Copies of this chain bind each other. A is one copy, B any other.
């Protein structure tokens, strides 16, 4: 009895889902390309860490792990590698000898800037290929979409575009 009820609504919903999913593919591909294009051969988690350190300023290990929504041990080992690569600087907090102060080096900030610029350029290039009257509508629509989703919680760890396997 409930079959074929309000078929036009269902069709519209399916069309929306399809459009959103397709756009999602494009966006993920753009992010991946922007990161792969640079010389330094960073992984996605490493780039996420650099973004957090670059935008958020110096933090200790626990705070960094929390912002990335990973285990402190994971963050520690990532810091080890990025530190060896010259992207992250570790110093001791003079006031509290338990704390390790972490910050992005100039090289690390440079990488974040390069990837961000490349990603923005690529998105701009795609948008430039769209019909002009579609652009304003897209901004409004995307902002409305993000607002609608934002009233539920959004995981901050997804900030730089990584999918999280063990997320609840």
Contacts and interface: CB of A to CB of B under 8 A. Distances in A.
Given A31-B163, A163-B44, A165-B35, A130 B158 contact: no
Given A16-B124, A32-B167, A24 B130 contact: no
A164 B34 CA distance: 11
A140 B138 CA distance: 8
Contacts of A84: none
Contacts of A146: 19, 22-23, 25-26
Copies in the complex: 2
Contact of A164 (B24, B26, B36, B42): B36
Interface stretch (A58-66, A72-80, A94-102, A147-155): A147-155
Interface of A: 12-17, 19-33, 35-36, 42-44, 119-120, 123-124, 126-131, 134-135, 137-152, 154-155, 158-159, 161-168
A19 B139 contact: yes
A167 B36 contact: yes
B148 A141 contact: no
Contacts of A165: 32, 35-36, 42-44
Contacts of A31: 24, 163
A12 B138 contact: no
